[in-house]
Structure 1
Amino acid sequence: MTSQSHPAPKYYVLKEQLRALAAEGEPGTLLPTERALAASHGTSRTTVRQAIAELVAEGVLDRIQGHGTFVAHNRPTYVRQLTSFSEDAAAQGLRSSSRLLGISAVPAEGEAALRLQVEPGSPLTRVERIRLINEEPLAHETAFLPGELPGLAEALDRSGSLYAALQESYGVRITDAEDTVQTRLAGPDEVRLLGLEMGFPLLVIHRLGLAGERPAEWTCSAFRGDRFRFQARRHRD
């Protein structure tokens, strides 16, 4: 009994052709319109749209509403364990910054209480930020920290890094981290905060930061899936 090979879907064939076209072009090069691509490849605009959408999700192309589709400028940023967003960016020669959305005292509840091993209703400090690379918003981050941390906004402003602020101003040093990585599609919050399209792929990392044996941070970070790769390294004795 012989196996039969099936032809690749039309959109996939076109997608790989466009990937090759992007590889030959300089970052920022404008691609032909969907109508022109459909005509030159003898296919429908729906097929062209699907091929482009997947390449945008993979970070090969950028699409700007009303302006067209371009060869992507930005290379992926790697997110590593036991380092902060700021440290990751600096290690790759990128300029990071943050836009603070709010710092508030909240009662512990749900998964945050469970992960931080505190009683429900205990005080937590909630920190919500937009993380930027080269002034472009690329991640939405919400961190929960045990207890109340007066002056945290000023400490963050001085250091630019939550880990540095915790160590320098509160004597809390993150020594270990447990990361859970999953994918999710962008909802209304990410559309509004990161300027994405509804349903855009996200890389979501839940991080439990430990200070020695003590839970000291529970953070959920939603990264643009076309701009980030998760990188882990283990030493095995």
Structure 2
Amino acid sequence: MSDQDLDRKDDSVPKHYEVRQWLRQHVEGLPPGTPVPSERSLSEQFNFSRTTVRQALHDLAVEGRIVRMQGRGTFVANPKVTQGLQLTSYTEDMLAQGMRPGTRLIDATVTEAEPDVAAQLALEAGSPVARIERVRFANGEPMAVETVYLDHGRFPDIVDKLTDDSSLYALLESEYGVIPTEGEETIETVLASPVAWRLLGTEATTPMLALTRATRDSEGRPIEYVRSLYRGDRFRLSTSITRPD
């Protein structure tokens, strides 16, 4: 059901919603960087308070449709990055879209596996695992925070081999002869922790897409367990679906 359908069913929608819907239609199809009408002009146009208009602008910024720059104004945002749900690396996904992938390595260390991590990697709780934390970029813009766990016994020196420029999947194949061939991925919406939204340069209220992935090789052996937070204002996920037999 669309927003317009909901509007027809409810005549008591909030004032800021009316402004938000008009702005959505106004910015649709405009080039990124196009200025958006100011709070003052929108307030005069709709005869609403600037507080009401500010709420509408905030909502569209959270949705990733506009960008508000202090001291400069409000502008149409870049299109969201669309990532397909398939067993490929982040680097491969960005390159396939003609974007420049980037990574900042936050931490790479060996630690003891918590019970949930150990279960995903078919290990005993407390077993040594490599824990890798990274921020992922697209064309220089931070997009996601990622934490990867791997069996330290199987990949004993991977924390020393991984760099900012490394593709983990490429490294697994070239150094260990391991290729992920199957896995499971779950997705849910969450709010980021203070650490995550500071790393991503977002507001505390920015919605996030939380992805968890567990991959295996062709023999069914666990390879990695990944927890990622993707910016909901800059990312959307896409997949193909078919009707079951």
TM-score, scaled to structure 2: 0.87
Pairing partner for 1:228 from 227, 235, 240: 235
| Aligned residue number for residue 115 of structure 1 | 120
Pairing partner for 1:218 from 222, 225, 236: 225
User: Is residue 159–residue 165 contact of structure 1 (8 Å, CA) maintained in 2?
Assistant: no
Q: List gaps (5 residues or longer) in structure 1.
A: none
User: Shift in Å at residue 159 of structure 1?
Assistant: 6.6
TM-score, scaled to structure 1: 0.90
Is structure 2 residue 193 aligned with structure 1 residue 193? no
Aligned-partner Cα distance in 1 for 2:159–2:69: 34
The residue type paired with residue 216 of structure 1 is I
Deviates more, 1:127-136 or 1:207-216: 207-216
| Aligned residue number for residue 45 of structure 1 | 50
| Aligned residue number for residue 165 of structure 1 | 171
The residue type paired with residue 37 of structure 2 is P
| Secondary structure of the corresponding residue to residue 66 of structure 1 | coil
How large is the RMSD of aligned CA atoms in angstroms? 2.2
Following superposition, which runs of at least 4 residues in structure 1 exceed 6 angstroms of deviation? none
Q: List gaps (5 residues or longer) in structure 2.
A: 1-7
Count of matched residue pairs: 235
| Secondary structure of the corresponding residue to residue 150 of structure 2 | strand
User: Shift in Å at residue 21 of structure 1?
Assistant: 1.8
User: Shift in Å at residue 229 of structure 1?
Assistant: 1.5
How does 1:59-138 map onto structure 2 within 5 Å?
59-138=64-143
Aligned-partner Cα distance in 2 for 1:179–1:199: 25
User: Shift in Å at residue 153 of structure 1?
Assistant: 5.2
| Aligned residue number for residue 17 of structure 2 | 12
Deviates more, 1:148-157 or 1:79-88: 148-157
User: Shift in Å at residue 234 of structure 1?
Assistant: 5.4
| Secondary structure of the corresponding residue to residue 108 of structure 2 | strand
Deviates more, 1:152-161 or 1:175-184: 152-161
| Secondary structure of the corresponding residue to residue 120 of structure 1 | coil
| Aligned residue number for residue 204 of structure 1 | 210
